[in-house]
Amino acid sequence: MSTLKVGRRAIETSNQHKVLFPGNEVTKGELIAYYHEVAAVMVPHLKGRPLTIQRFPDGIDKNGFYQKDASKYLPDWIHTQKLPKDKGTVNHVICDNPATLVYLANQAAITLHTGTSRVDRVEQPDQLIFDLDPPENAFRSAQEAAELLCALLEELSLPRFAKTTGGKGLHVVVPLRRGWRYRDVRAFADDTARVFELRAPQRLTTAVRRAKREGRLYIDVGRNAYGAHAVAPYSVRPSRGAPVSTPLFSDELFDEDLRPERFTVRSVLERIGAKGDPWASMRTSAVTLTRARTALNKLLAKT
């Protein structure tokens, strides 16, 4: 047991030598250190958002679990928020400061997932997410799909930010001014995906069932629903090598040499130090969907 000073808080950490990622032997101590160091750029993307936490106390080769309800033993300085669900409420952790992030890392919270709205106006999302999910070992197809999607979003005069998922796909995110409710944002996402699919039906699909995808890239808009979540930027994923979901600069997104597996807990901090955060301007780039909805309706009329 040791103590890590994070701001005004003293976080008790334990089992730092425990290997959480067998193979390249990433330890719990390395996970804690990563989240401590990355907090300055990561926490602004987490603030005010309900968390779903993915924990692996015994490492990624053992059973882990998802946790939405905050543990009852949380320190009282960690912010939580009760939000409605179908039956009752969920008391989500809200990560508003680096100390909370470090505390969660010490609980073997390897992956953090966030909602697309903030808790002060939880029915009004401020992000629209397109999850581009390619077939196995086909990251290049995700890049090609992202290029087509970004061209469509450009037609709709919408800003777009991209990141690796820490897996085989990409997330393309449109920052929104709050005001539209989930049902309307989801309808916009569905219609955009429909137009997108029709532009390359041999390569793209909105089919939820894998059997119907027939080797095509899946355009997943399911993140755009109340209670849904997406992996947070700079979150570690529970896979070999400790990959990180990493925001990309626009000139990187279509680079044929881009290899998402290179972004790990052992490389991302150096990248941030050299290049900064590609998503630093996301909040100030937010737009309303009003004009885009009109433009999208015109495209739909042509299909």
Q: How many domains does the chain have?
A: 2
Q: Is residue 241 part of a domain?
A: no
For the record, the structure tokens of 163 come out as 């990141």
- Distance CA(104)–CA(11), nearest Å, equals 10
List the Cα angle 119/234/96 in 5-degree steps: 35
Q: Is residue 134 part of a domain?
A: yes
**Residues with Cβ within 8 Å of residue 226, at least 6 apart in sequence:** 117, 122, 123, 182
- Average pLDDT of every residue of the chain: 96
User: Do 137 and 61 share a structural domain?
Assistant: no
User: Do 134 and 110 share a structural domain?
Assistant: no
User: Do 272 and 188 share a structural domain?
Assistant: no
Q: Is residue 240 part of a domain?
A: no
pLDDT at 86: 87
Q: Is residue 96 part of a domain?
A: yes
User: Do 202 and 139 share a structural domain?
Assistant: yes
> Whole domain around residue 182: which residue ranges?
127-226+284-301
- Asked if 176 and 125 touch (Cβ cutoff 8 Å), the reply is yes
- Distance CA(112)–CA(67), nearest Å, equals 10
**Residues with Cβ within 8 Å of residue 30, at least 6 apart in sequence:** 242, 265, 266
Q: Is residue 234 part of a domain?
A: no
- Distance CA(303)–CA(301), nearest Å, equals 6
Q: Is the dihedral of CA 41, 45, 48, 50 positive or negative?
A: negative
User: Do 182 and 83 share a structural domain?
Assistant: no
Helix (H, G, I), strand (E, B) or coil at 211: helix
User: Do 7 and 108 share a structural domain?
Assistant: yes
Q: Determine the average pLDDT of the residues in 286-292.
A: 98
Q: Is residue 146 part of a domain?
A: yes
Q: Is residue 7 part of a domain?
A: yes
Q: What stretches of 94-161 show up as alpha helix (H) in DSSP?
A: 98-106, 139-155
User: Do 291 and 161 share a structural domain?
Assistant: yes
- Distance CA(299)–CA(303), nearest Å, equals 7
- Asked if 42 and 231 touch (Cβ cutoff 8 Å), the reply is no
Residue type for position 20: L
User: Do 254 and 141 share a structural domain?
Assistant: no
pLDDT band at 303; cut points 50, 70, 90: confident
Could you report the per-residue pLDDT of 231-270, keeping only the tens digit for each?
Answer: 999 999 999 999 999 999 999 999 999 999 999 999 999 9
Could you report the per-residue pLDDT of 159-209, keeping only the tens digit for each?
Answer: 999 999 999 999 999 999 999 999 999 999 999 999 999 999 999 999 888
User: Do 288 and 155 share a structural domain?
Assistant: yes
CATH number of the structural domain spanning residue 45: 3.90.920.10
- Number of CB atoms found within 10 A of residue 36's CB: 18
pLDDT at 211: 85
Q: Is residue 233 part of a domain?
A: no
Of all helices (H) and strands (E), which one includes residue 12?
Answer: strand 9-13
User: Do 296 and 182 share a structural domain?
Assistant: yes
Residue type for position 289: L
DSSP letter assigned to residue 7 = T
- Distance CA(48)–CA(81), nearest Å, equals 9
Spatial CA neighbour of 36 closest among 71, 2, 11, 68: 11
User: Do 170 and 70 share a structural domain?
Assistant: no
User: Do 203 and 150 share a structural domain?
Assistant: yes
Could you report the per-residue pLDDT of 70-104, keeping only the tens digit for each?
Answer: 999 999 999 999 999 988 999 999 999 999 999 99
Could you report the per-residue pLDDT of 28-56, keeping only the tens digit for each?
Answer: 999 999 999 999 999 999 999 999 999 99
